[in-house]
């Protein structure tokens, strides 16, 4: 790409004029986008909504459930209570998948093979994010 300048995030104040006069800011760090978008009114890529939604699996899933529900695995998102754990165990046959809500790229994904696995997952989470297991080798995500 022509006319692109890399600025280390921690040195942004040394390059304030370059930032102010730029047309676009590419791939800003998450902690910078508020000052760039709301403070300096800069256009950023990827767009701001990807930052708002992409950092929380719950918000992204709820949007997909509202717009493309038949194309996503059956999912339950619930607070961690005895009643909700029982509901999940009654709804999902083993195996099923449990995930952390603030992770991506396959990190913090747990294959739940039995009730003991599920209860271990539940020990350290306030919110339970559970999906049906899809017996596939890989997935393809097209945006």
Give the pLDDT confidence score for residue 141 in this predicted structure.
67
d(CA 60, CA 143): 13
User: Residue 100: its pLDDT value, please?
Assistant: 94
Look at residue 143 in the predicted model and tell me its pLDDT.
57
Q: How many CB atoms lie within 10 A of CB 107?
A: 9
pLDDT of residue 4: 85
Q: Is the pTM of this model over 0.85?
A: no
How far is it, in rounded angstroms, from Cα 30 to Cα 39? 14
Query: Digits of tens for pLDDT over the chain (143 positions)?
Result: 778 888 887 888 888 899 999 999 998 888 888 899 999 999 999 888 877 777 788 988 998 899 999 989 999 999 999 999 999 999 999 999 999 998 777 789 999 999 999 999 999 999 999 999 999 888 776 65
Q: What contacts 16, CB < 8 A, 6 or more positions away? A: none
Q: Is the dihedral of CA 123, 126, 131, 137 positive or negative?
A: negative
State how far the Cα of 19 lies from the Cα of 7, in Å rounded to an integer.
9
* C-beta neighbour count of 68 within 10 angstroms: 9
Beta bridge partners of 110: 98
**Nearest-CA neighbor of 114 among 100, 125, 98, 128?**
98
The sign of the torsion formed by the CA atoms of 39, 45, 47, 50 equals negative
């Amino acid at each position: 790409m022509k006319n692109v300048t890399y600025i280390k995030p921690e040195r942004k104040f040394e390059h304030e004029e370059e930032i102010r006069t730029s047309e676009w800011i590419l791939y800003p760090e998450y902690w910078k986008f508020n000052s760039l978008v709301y403070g300096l009114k800069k256009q950023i890529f990827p767009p701001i909504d990807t930052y708002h939604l992409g950092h929380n699996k719950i918000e992204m899933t709820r949007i997909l459930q509202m717009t493309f529900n038949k194309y996503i695995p059956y999912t339950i998102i619930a607070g961690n209570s005895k009643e909700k754990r029982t509901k999940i165990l009654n709804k999902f046959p083993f195996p099923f998948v449990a995930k952390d809500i603030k992770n991506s790229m396959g990190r913090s994904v747990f294959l739940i093979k039995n009730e003991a696995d599920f209860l271990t997952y539940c020990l350290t989470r306030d919110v339970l994010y559970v999906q049906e297991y899809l017996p596939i080798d890989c997935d393809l995500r097209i945006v």
